[in-house]
Amino acid sequence: MILTINGRPLAARPGETLLQVARRAGIDLPTLCHHEGLEAWGGCRLCVVEMRRHPDEAPKVVPSCLQAAEDGLRVETHTENLLRIRATLLDLLLTRAPGSELIRRLALEHGVGDTTFVPQAEPSNCILCTLCTRACAAVGAFAISTAGRGAEGEISLPFVDDADACVGCGSCAAVCPTGCIELKDEGLARTIWGRTFQRVPCEVSGEPTITREHAALLSKRTGLPTDGFFVTDEGRRRQTADTIAALVGVGEGRAA
């Protein structure tokens, strides 16, 4: 199918979203709640575009991360209206995430320095994009979710402090666009959500691998033994070199 974005005819595959088509064409659309590995959410609204099915109808503002490509669609990504909407949204997001470098940079790109709105009294820098909770669910831990409603909502453990289901994988912190999830690694120890885990040292390199809890979950979901998860990439490379060396019978194995 063929659709036009900003007047450019572009090919799209069935099932693709407008965001995918636009990004493939090198059109820059900002997103904060989007991650290729997770189902689209449509919460931050930064990726909104204007869409028309017929040239004479009024454009409709839709989130490009969710709107499916259709043959003959006319899409605009950077009209004055859309730029104003994005600037306003970023201005609003600054009220709750003034400490986020990404949001500050995006806001500046849209002509907004400090927020022009009333800032939150104690901003957490969390923008409730739920990337963390969706990543946690995708991992299979379901350790965190959104508690409360509306602007009062927050990402939380069950009953605030029950971190039993957390496996210390760190996925939530890795996907957080504002860096507001605290993860501390010290030696083999990893502290996240108020709980300290021990990462298992790599049996080859001695470097920290993943936590025993994370390995148990992976093992449960994949049916593989846990031991296989306790090797770092470096360790695995050395193991492979050893195996090859043993097989061909040259060298001394763990050669430098």
Partner 1 sequence: MSERIPNLAALEAWRASLQAAHDANRKAIAICAGTGCKAYGSDKLAEAFRKGVAERGLDVDVRATGCHGFCERGPLVVIYPSMIFYQEVGRKNLAKDVAEILDQTVAAAPGAEQIVPRLQYKTPAGEAVVHERDVPFYKHQNRLILSFNGKIDPESLADYVRNGGYRALGKALGSMTPEQVLAEVEASGLRGRGGAGFPTGRKWRFTRTADAPRVDGRPMKYVVCNADEGDPGAFMDRSVLEGNPHGVLEGLLLGAYAIGAREGYVYVRNEYPLAVQRLTKAIADARAAGLLGDDILGTGFAFDLHVTRGAGAFVCGEETALIGSVEGNKGQPRFRPPYPAVSGLWGCPTNINNVETWVNVPLIVDRGAAWFAGIGTAGSKGTKIFSLVGKVNHTGLVEVPMGASLRHIVEHIGGGIKDGRAFKAVQTGGPSGGCLPESMLDLEVDFDTLTAAGSMMGSGGMIVMDDRTCMVDVARYFIDFLIQESCGKCTPCRDGLIQMGHLMHDLVEGRGTHATLDRLEALAPVVRDASLCALGQTAPNPVLSTLKYFRHEYLAHIDDKQCPAGVCKALITYRITDRCTGCTICAVQCPEKVITGEKKALHLIDEARCTRCGVCHSVCTFDAIDILPGR
Binding site for partner 1 (CB under 8 A): 40-46, 48, 61, 63, 66-68, 81, 84-85, 88-89, 92-93, 95-96, 117-118, 127-128, 130, 145-146, 148-153
Neighbour-count burial for 225-255, b at 16+ CB within 10 Å, e otherwise = ebeebbbbeebeebbeebeeeeeeeeeeeee
Secondary structure (3-state) at 211: strand
Q: Which is nearer to partner 1, 54 or 149 (CB)?
A: 149
Q: CB of 120: closest distance to partner 1 in angstroms?
A: 9
Number of other residues whose CB lies within 10 A of the CB of residue 141: 19
Rounded to a whole number of angstroms, the minimum distance from the CB of residue 180 to partner 1 is: 16
Neighbouring residues of 12: CB distance < 8 A, sequence distance ≥ 6: 1, 2, 3, 20, 21, 69
Between 13 and 117, CB nearer to partner 1: 117
**Which CB, 58 or 248, lies closer to partner 1?**
58
Instruction: Calculate ∠ Cα 91-78-14, nearest 5°.
Output: 115
Residue with Cβ nearer partner 1 (68 or 183): 68
- Kindly tell me which of 151 and 224 has the beta carbon lying closer to partner 1: 151
The radius of gyration of the chain's CA atoms, rounded to the nearest angstrom, is 23
Q: Give least dist CB 11 to partner 1, A.
A: 22
Angle at 131 between CA 44 and CA 133, to 5 degrees: 130
Q: At what angle do helices 101-109 and 80-96 cross, to 10 degrees?
A: 150
| Minimum distance from residue 104 beta carbon to partner 1 (Å) | 16
H or E stretch covering 26: none
Nearer to partner 1, 41 or 197 (CB): 41
Confirm if 33 and 43 have CB atoms less than 8 A apart.
yes
Min dist CB 235 to partner 1, Å, is 41
